[in-house]
Amino acid sequence: MRFLRELLETLILAILIFLVVQTTLQSFQIQFESMKPNLLPGQRLVVNKILYFHFSWGKATKYIPFVHKEDNTAFLFHPPQRGDVIVFEPPLPSASDYIKRVIGLPGDIVEIKGGKVYANDQPLAEPYIADAPNYAMAPEAVPPGYYFVLGDNRNNSSDSHTWGFVPLNNIIGKAWVSFWPLDRWGWAPNYSFAQVER
């Protein structure tokens, strides 16, 4: 009887651990070259799914304590930041999720000209790209609840400059750790920008 009880406790604990891991972490494999030179096809990452957990209770959201709030959305930790590498469901038909870098935040004015990306009229220093973009994009305002994303391989990436903004609800999580192949093991290539004035 004691053996059965311990077996049941172990089984319940294993199921709980499995559920926690499934809801907070996800494995993701790079399939295309849009994030070169930082992420390569075949490379595998762990995605942190809980970091951007959010909810909205309308105007009542502003009364929720101990959370980060933007507009009527409350984030358990914080919203996506400029420079974060995110995995998301693309807002166009696709058989797989996409991975790109957050460039424009809700409320930003984003523009691409002269081989540089601008956020709120400020050129972004982007040491993580190999080549400057060889295209231009007229200034566009990022709507509330949306993000502007670009691939690091600027001239070989299907991203916001061609199909538009990514809704917050499409974002699965932030790239966290690269674990395969072993010679590329380490933190994902997220980048922290200095605050761009709005």
**Contact (CB, 8 A) for 151 and 29:** no
| Cα distance between residue 28 and residue 156, in whole Å | 20
Edge to edge, the sheet with strand 73-75 lists 54-55, 73-75, 68-70
**Contact (CB, 8 A) for 109 and 139:** yes
> Active-site positions?
34, 100
**Contact (CB, 8 A) for 147 and 171:** yes
Q: Which helix (H) or strand (E) holds 2?
A: helix 2-24
The one-letter amino acid code at 192 reads S
Can you read off the two tokens belonging to residue 83? 């420079």
Question: Any idea what DSSP says for residue 195?
Answer: P
